[in-house]
Amino acid sequence: MTRGAEVIVIGAGVVGITCALALQGAGCAVTVLDRKGVAAEASAGNAGAFAFADVIPLATPGIMHKAPKWLLDPLGPLSVPPGYAAQIAPWMVRFWWASWRDRYDRALAAQAALMRLSAEALDTLIAETGARALVRDEGQLQLYEGQRAYEASLPGWETRAAHGIAFRLLDRPEAIAEIQPGLSPRFTHAGFTPGWRNVTDPTQWVAHLADVFRARGGRIEIAEVRALRQDGETVVLDCADGNRRADRAVICAGAWSHHLARTLGDRIPLETERGYNTTLPAGAFDLRTHLTFPDHGFVVSRIGQGVRVGGAVELGGLKRPPNWRRAVVLLDKARGFLPGLRTEGGTQWMGFRPSLPDSLPVIGPAPCADRVTYAFGHGHLGLTQSAGTAALVAALVSGAVPRIDLSPYAATRF
């Protein structure tokens, strides 16, 4: 690629804006297109975590023994609305395949490699964009109720240790309280990852990166892209307001990305993890670290001066109306787990996380259109893996050698 090549990035969420910055740094003239604007979808309402310790894919060996119980609970940590079960069945079969030991091992290695790259790339991004004030280094507690739950978690901690993740295991409520006072005594054990990082606010994080991108000459436009095709050495984008052309295009459209990939002839099995949360105002709780309740499928994090309670997975697609009872259930649980939590005045939210069966994103060239690059499907790890993904996309588009093997993330793996 020659310097100054025109690149269109589709999607102004955290992955798209971070990719745009990296491409800009590689000498490209970059325009970002989004149908709504900067951080208008999942990037606005996530928990704000750089979850580099979460190297373990969702599809773990033996998970299908647990899944039926979860799926039958409409308000549980993993659910499928009854009317959506037939539609998602092919995805669930692939999810089961991904849990087979050999496939899981490969996915784990690929996830860990992308996490390491993303952690290094984040440091560079923070320094180059002056974003240090937007990052909190407060660690994370994973909390367990009793000895049995704690012991069941130990293989996961051993896996993290094997991949160089630092942590401390705590087996007394008093030790937990030294890090986070005010928890229910039902939580007797925990794992603390001191290197865990959060943004102060995910919307502000993406807005800051977008401001830096614009200040360096980048453009962000409101436009709905309906289809793409490669025409010789250019890419033609069919938009609602007319066609656009560029030397290259990058698809970072989150949960809508597979629709665009299909216009190029690729069928990517992307599903939508619908995540729910409630953001409480300042003074709701004296939260000192990111809290994860793995057996209940949700987290509590600081957002601005307030507290966000959210998580869980509802595999329900893009069209079904929100089930706000899920947000209410999470908040009720949080009230029991944090007895001093003030739950009045909260704002509910639901967002679409783009999820692939093996928990890995698609990063790489479109199989039938080498001037189109895919960068989507990060599930609940879009913020976490955004900087690493951007570094890989910039290398691919500029003709450099990517820093990690990209074959595990190829669109053709399906």
Residue-level pLDDT at 77: 77
Q: What is the pLDDT of residue 65?
A: 75
**Complete domains list, the chain, with CATH:** 1-61+100-135+198-269+357-413 (3.50.50.60), 64-99+136-197+270-355 (3.30.9.10)
Helices 14-25 + 101-129 axis angle, to 10: 60
CA–CA dist 255, 271 (Å, integer)? 7
Rounded to whole angstroms, how far apart are CA atoms 398 and 4? 10
Buried b (16+ CB within 10 A) or exposed e, 250-265: bbbbbbbbbbbbeebe
What pLDDT, on a 0 to 100 scale, did the predictor assign at position 267?
96
Picking from 177, 141, 174, the residue whose alpha carbon sits closest to that of residue 290 is: 141
- Helices and strands in the chain: count of H runs, count of E runs: 11, 21
Which residue, among 223, 258, 255, has the nearest Cα to 239 in the 3D structure?
223
> What pLDDT score does 1 carry?
52
- Retrieve residue 13's tokens: 């969420």
Residue type, 355: S
Q: Are 363 and 412 in contact (CB under 8 A)?
A: no
Q: What are phi and psi of 285, to 5 degrees?
A: -170, 150
Locus of tokens 């955004």: 386
Tell which residue, 91, 14, 98, has the closest CA to residue 56. Answer: 98
* Packing angle, helices 14-25 and 202-215, rounded to 10: 30
pLDDT for the residue numbered 325: 93
pLDDT at 2: 52
Cα 228 off chain centre by? 25
Please report the pLDDT score of residue 79 as a whole number.
85
pLDDT in tens, 165-215: 999 999 999 999 999 999 999 999 999 999 999 999 999 999 999 999 999
Looking at beta carbons, which pairs linking 397-405 to residues 24 or more positions away fall under 8 Å?
397/1, 397/5, 397/7, 397/23, 397/26, 397/28, 397/248, 397/250, 397/373, 398/1, 398/23, 398/26, 398/27, 398/28, 399/1, 400/26, 403/117, 404/113, 404/114, 404/117, 405/113
Q: How far apart are CA 285 and CA 165, in angstroms?
A: 29
> Which segments of the chain have a pLDDT < 70?
1-3, 67-72
